[in-house]
Structure 1
Amino acid sequence: MPAHEIKTCQRCKKDYECKVGNITQCQCYEVKMTYEETQRMRKEYDDCLCAACMLELQIQYRKEEMLSKN
């Protein structure tokens, strides 16, 4: 498997570089999702997303969680 590849985000359709061979250098590494958030995202999408979409989903998931607690 190559150390990196260009992928298209399933959510926004923009291209991004995935560094599966060096995850700490990958664009998604900066988004620190909880286990529950990651599992929810995996139910909705079957491949990696760009960091911008991951961050948007994380914000959405956390807002929904806060609303459900009220």
Structure 2
Amino acid sequence: MIKHEEKYCPRCKTEFECKVGSIQLCQCSDIKLENKELEYIRGLYENCLCAKCMKELKTEFHNQNFQNKLKDILGVFYRSPKK
């Protein structure tokens, strides 16, 4: 029996179907995460996220790393991006 579960994304509150019993068919299986990206997301959320939020957090992780590298290079001349 394939286990499917209706869940709500803890980040955006969108409802999605989690297919933990058939993970290759789950909405999250299209999102490829490197270990550091996965660690970043796990540090923020304990439960499954919708695919949209996973993509956004992957981008956020890389943007944050880029800003940290700029800060290291520019030192006192670094200015945080406006949000």
Tell me if both proteins adopt one fold, taking TM over 0.5 as the criterion.
yes
Q: State the distance in 1 between where 2:26 and 2:50 align.
A: 10
Q: TM-score, normalised by structure 2?
A: 0.78
1:1-70 superposed matches below 5 A:
3-70=3-70
Q: TM-score, normalised by structure 1?
A: 0.92
Aligned length: 70
Q: For the aligned residues, what is the CA RMSD?
A: 1.4
Runs of 4+ residues over 6 Å off in structure 1: none
Which is greater in Rg? 2
Letter in 2 for 1:16: F
Q: Which runs of 5+ in 2 are unaligned?
A: 71-83
Greater relative contact order (Cα < 8 A, sep 6+): 1
Letter in 2 for 1:4: H
